[in-house]
Amino acid sequence: MAFSRRFFLVGAGSLVTSRFVSEAKTFIADTKSPFLVAPANAEKELYVEWIEGVARLHLGKPTVELPPPPLWIDHLKSRGYKLDTAAEIDALCHTNEFYGMDLFNPLDGIGWEDQWEHTDSPEAKAYAFLQDPKIFPKLRGFEREGSIVFESFPNPMSSAHWVEVHDHLSLSLLQARLNELDLGVAVKIMD
């Protein structure tokens, strides 16, 4: 299992300042919960699910059950393939050794489960979203506070990866950083 850690840089932007960190720590001490100021223009939600004392992040509501596998044609379209005309379908089939009728069959169960864990689950989407280098720039000379952990579990039995946060301050700093970048993402704690 591989993991990497990213830190919040204090003073690199306009919101995550020493003063904000101090105010967030005071709020957390008083309320025992993170200081989360949702953006006015929230278009997405980053859900926090506490699992054994660790906050696991999900972009969108967490799901318990694996959805049914999509048809190959729908899956490929969701990956950017243009398959709206017979010529586009013929070109794909020719270059990828597909039979046209195979495109209208569902993905196989194990392949779909692997795809879901790696790319399509809310945990995987949070992992991909938070990998954006503008969220955690690599600048030197700034004080670091809080952190989030990127976990990857690539092995023959699982392609799952996820993001964990270990404390309320880090969740507070994450929401402040997302607001600072005006990404329209609200961090929400699940009940």
pLDDT on residue 57: 97
Confidence of residue 43 (pLDDT cuts 50, 70, 90): very high
Confidence of residue 154 (pLDDT cuts 50, 70, 90): low
Comparing CA positions, the residue from 159, 125, 136 lying closest to residue 46 is 125
pTM: 0.83
Output the CA angle 9-13-16, nearest 5 degrees: 60
CA distance 147 to 173: 9
Comparing CA positions, the residue from 179, 150, 183, 188 lying closest to residue 166 is 150
Neighbours of 57 (CB within 10 A): 24
Confidence of residue 54 (pLDDT cuts 50, 70, 90): very high
Q: Say what angle helices 18-31 and 168-180 make with each other, to 10 degrees.
A: 140
pLDDT at 8 over 90: no
pLDDT at 156 over 80: no
Mean pLDDT, residues 46-61: 94
User: What confidence tens digit (pLDDT) does each residue in 121-150 have?
Assistant: 999 999 999 999 889 887 777 888 899 999
Highest mean pLDDT among 19-33, 76-90, 98-112: 19-33
CB 40 within 8 A of CB 29: no
Neighbours of 151 (CB within 10 A): 17
pLDDT at 11 over 70: yes
pLDDT on residue 1: 59
pLDDT at 64 over 80: no
Mean pLDDT, residues 63-69: 85
pLDDT on residue 187: 97
Tokens of 43: 């278009």
pLDDT on residue 90: 84
**3 state SS of 155:** strand
